[in-house]
Amino acid sequence: MHGIEFLKDLAVIMVVAGCTTLIFHRLRQPVVLGYILAGVLIGPHTPLALITNEDTTRGFADLGVVLLMFSLGLEFSLRRLREVGVAALVATGVEVTLMLWAGYELGRWFGWRTMDALFLGAMMAISSTMLVLRGLHEAGQRQERFARLVFGILVVEDVLAILLIAVLSGIAISGAVEPGRALATLGRLGLFVVVALVLGLLWLPRLVDYVAASGRSEMLLVTSLGICFGAALLAEAAGFSVALGGFVAGAIVAEAKAVKRVEHLIEPVRDMFGALFFVAIGMLIDPALLIHYIVPVVLVAAAVVVGKTLAVTFGGVIAGNDGRTALRAGLGLAQIGEFSFVIAGVGLASGVTSDFLYPIAVAASVLTAFATPYLMRSSDRIAERTDALLPRKVRALMIAYQHWIAGLKPEDENAAIAQMLRRLVLHIAINMALVVAVFLAAAWLKPRMLEWLPQWTAGETLRRSLLWSLALFLSMPMLIAAYRKADALGMVLAELGIRDGVAGARTYALRRVLGKMIPLAVLVMLALLVMALGSAILPSRGVLIVLLLVAAALAAFLWRSFVQVHARLQAALRDVMRPAPESQADRPP
């Protein structure tokens, strides 16, 4: 009987969603808004009440959000993040910070609780990627200058949205805003994302391309969905939202050469479950509650349109863009979208936010979504009028500031050196994150060894020694690589800091001394890190000294082998991240 009820609910939702698609397509309005309205009409809070099973609604929403985040991850691509300029990073940082603050203050002004105000600020900070991209395409503005800034901001916003979802999930679990717990959540999030990306990029794009080479579309679809839902379960097991797992899985699969075929196959599945997701959102809205809070809905929508326009404009100008480009970007991003629904769902599912916040966020999103196409089409005219109203001195000051920012960018040799330094620091950080992950995995494994191997009679000292030795052995390529990158970093900084002839004949010796300070500091840091992380599995002091001596001898004897292993892994990652020409595997059948 339960199966029949599920099938009935699914049939009702799909029929209503299909009718909604036709109606809103004829009205030239975003179909997402029609899905939400349809959900309100058939939900349990209206006289129709075609669907009353709340578990069914939650299940549809969970499936929809995972596939929605997976598809956004496919469009995200790590290559795009690497190509995002400093201007987009600065503009997005300013915009998100200002909107978080504005939303929080607006919620407190309404008299809401701290948690409600915090979630409102997070929802107001993120724009709708789908609405913006569709609006730019329909308006024929994708090739204009402001669109490049919009694309960069959307990419960075996607990353910050995932960060907000993870942090708010941690806050929802604890039920309080604690700086220490938030920092711990950020640390776990960074570790999870880095390890998932590095390990995933080593294997999953190759797996996807291997399956794609078989020419069997159903195999490629099933494999991609398996990666999507598997990553979602891993994220939930790590204490994060399933949305994070879906997004990370999409970003990893996006590096496969066959990503175009994956997108082609996933698209109908995504559209189906996306419709279920947005209809399920509508079913959670109580119209009576919405009418009661109509004033906050209108004020939140107005604050989003005005606030995001001003925040993006200010951030764009701070980043060195001209006022016209920054204002047009602000008008294009003046809405909230799909990530905000996920953020609202985190608060609602965990019970840390009030019942009224979710429908207010959705209703405000609907109002801003209706306004987005008109703002985009009018952005050029509004920018012209605003530019004409600016005083001449303000315009001259903005032009001078723009030229000053442009002059700060490193060029030629300085640009190459800056890129080299960034790459070395990034490699050190990634290798240290992988070492942390290995030792944390060993600590997690220790109490489970006897559960999985109850017949094993080895003592506590032997178990600790084996686990710690295994973790150290697996970490050895990363530890050696971190030391070698730190050594190269020290040499570069010593060359830059001590010019030729500064200390006469001692210049070279002084460079060597200063150049070795950084790798030695990193070596001490790595040793302390290994000891701290391995504290849960450290053997007795005598055994530890013996193991350290064996590890040192092993490292000296197999140094080249460890270097070669790491080089192969790094080359594999570089091959995955390197843009490749479209091949037969990329093209949809």
pLDDT at site 536: 62
**Which tens digit of pLDDT belongs to each residue from 370-420?**
788 788 888 888 888 888 888 887 778 777 777 776 665 655 556 667 777
Q: Tell me if 436 is assigned to some domain.
A: yes
Q: What is the pTM of this model?
A: 0.69
Q: Tell me if 157 is assigned to some domain.
A: yes
117 shares a domain with 189: yes
380: exposed, middle or buried (Cβ count in 10 Å: 0-12, 13-18, 19+): middle
423 shares a domain with 284: no
Do the beta carbons of residue 136 and residue 373 sit within 8 Å? Answer: no
Confidence check: pLDDT of 50 > 60: yes
- How much is the average pLDDT of 217-246? 84
Q: Tell me if 579 is assigned to some domain.
A: no
Rank 53-67, 341-355, 527-541 by mean pLDDT and report only the highest: 341-355
Confidence check: pLDDT of 341 > 70: yes
The sign of the dihedral angle between the CA atoms of 288, 289, 295, 298 is negative
420 shares a domain with 367: no
Q: Tell me if 275 is assigned to some domain.
A: yes
162 shares a domain with 88: yes
CA distance 184 to 454: 34
468 shares a domain with 370: no
Confidence check: pLDDT of 582 > 60: no
301 shares a domain with 176: yes
SS (H, E, C) 96-111: HHHHHHHHHHHHHHCC
- Where in the sequence is the domain holding 227, given as residue range(s)? 2-386
382 shares a domain with 431: no
Pair of tokens at residue 331: 């008008």
- How much is the average pLDDT of 557-573? 75
Q: In CATH, what number is assigned to the domain containing residue 58?
A: 1.20.1530.20
**Number of domains within the chain:** 2
Mean pLDDT of the chain, nearest integer: 76
pLDDT at site 456: 58
375: exposed, middle or buried (Cβ count in 10 Å: 0-12, 13-18, 19+): buried
Q: What is the DSSP letter of 447?
A: G
pLDDT at site 331: 87
- How much is the average pLDDT of 230-237? 84
Do the beta carbons of residue 352 and residue 433 sit within 8 Å? Answer: no
60 shares a domain with 102: yes
**Which tens digit of pLDDT belongs to each residue from 447-499?**
666 566 555 555 667 777 777 788 888 888 888 888 888 888 877 777 766 66
Confidence check: pLDDT of 145 > 60: yes
pLDDT at site 586: 45
**Which tens digit of pLDDT belongs to each residue from 486-540?**
888 877 777 766 666 555 566 676 777 777 777 788 777 777 767 766 666 667 6
Q: Tell me if 486 is assigned to some domain.
A: yes
Write the CA distances from 361 to 22, 167, 575, integer angstroms. Answer: 25, 19, 42
Q: Tell me if 454 is assigned to some domain.
A: no
**Which tens digit of pLDDT belongs to each residue from 353-368?**
887 887 888 888 878 8
Confidence check: pLDDT of 312 > 60: yes
Point out the least confidently predicted range of 213-217, 341-345, 424-428, 505-509. 505-509
Do the beta carbons of residue 183 and residue 167 sit within 8 Å? Answer: no
466 shares a domain with 368: no
Q: What phi-psi label fits residue 356: left (phi over 0), alpha (psi between -120 and 50 degrees) or beta?
A: alpha
294 shares a domain with 419: no
Q: How many CB atoms lie within 10 A of CB 225?
A: 18
379 shares a domain with 421: no
416 shares a domain with 307: no
Q: Tell me if 575 is assigned to some domain.
A: no
Q: How confident is the model at residue 587 (pLDDT cuts 50, 70, 90)?
A: very low
Confidence check: pLDDT of 128 > 50: yes
